[in-house]
């Protein structure tokens, strides 16, 4: 049985727990910036950037991590695979997208629901759902 975390890790970061991606078009709110400033021990400008980055293996936005109860610097979060996996599981359960991989492989509706809840609605949701299927098929074909 393939773990969902393995699939999404490959989709999001090619399995790199230290991955960081800046989303320059994203503007965090003042509450998130203030909380990030406290967590990271930095100024507002840096906190805004940290909030607007996707962090780790599962590429959670800094603001999402704060909303999920992050209580350490996102840099420390990126160094803790156990914590990343825990946040991933929590995120999926909270959004009712903790699908078995077999269901995602067989159901386009399940893939689209996952893609929309995980990566956002809009024009890229179907492309994300397609990427999930491609990664599942690659994992199945490679036998790993």
Domain ranges of the chain: 16-94, 96-142
Cα torsion angle, 39, 42, 43, 46, sign: negative
pLDDT at position 39 is 97
Closest listed residue to residue 113, CA positions, set 100, 102, 99, 133:
99
Q: Would you give per-residue pLDDT tens digits along the chain (144 residues)?
A: 899 999 999 999 999 999 999 999 999 999 999 999 999 999 999 999 999 999 999 999 999 999 999 999 999 999 999 999 999 999 999 999 999 999 999 999 999 999 999 999 988 999 999 999 999 999 998 876
Upper half-sphere CA count for residue 73 (Cβ side, 13 Å): 10
Residues 6+ apart with CB under 8 A from 40: 46, 47, 50, 73, 74, 75
Six-digit token string for 107: 């159901």
Does this model's pTM top 0.85? My answer is yes
Residues 6+ apart with CB under 8 A from 41: 73
pLDDT at position 142 is 85
The one-character DSSP state at 55 is E
pLDDT at position 124 is 93
Residues 6+ apart with CB under 8 A from 91: 58, 60, 64, 68, 118
pLDDT at position 66 is 98
């Amino acid at each position: 049985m393939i773990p969902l975390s393995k699939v999404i890790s490959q989709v999001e970061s090619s399995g790199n727990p230290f991955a960081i991606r800046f989303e320059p078009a994203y503007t965090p709110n003042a509450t998130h910036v203030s909380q990030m400033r406290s967590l990271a021990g930095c100024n507002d400008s840096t906190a805004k950037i940290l909030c607007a980055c996707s962090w780790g293996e599962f590429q959670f936005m800094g603001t999402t991590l704060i909303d999920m109860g992050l209580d350490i610097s996102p840099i420390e979060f990126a160094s803790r695979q156990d914590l990343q996996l825990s946040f991933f599981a929590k995120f999926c359960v909270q959004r009712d997208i903790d699908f078995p991989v077999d269901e995602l492989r067989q159901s386009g509706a399940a893939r689209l629901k996952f893609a929309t809840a995980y990566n956002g609605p809009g024009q890229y949701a179907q492309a994300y759902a397609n990427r999930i299927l491609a990664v599942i098929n690659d994992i199945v074909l490679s036998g790993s």
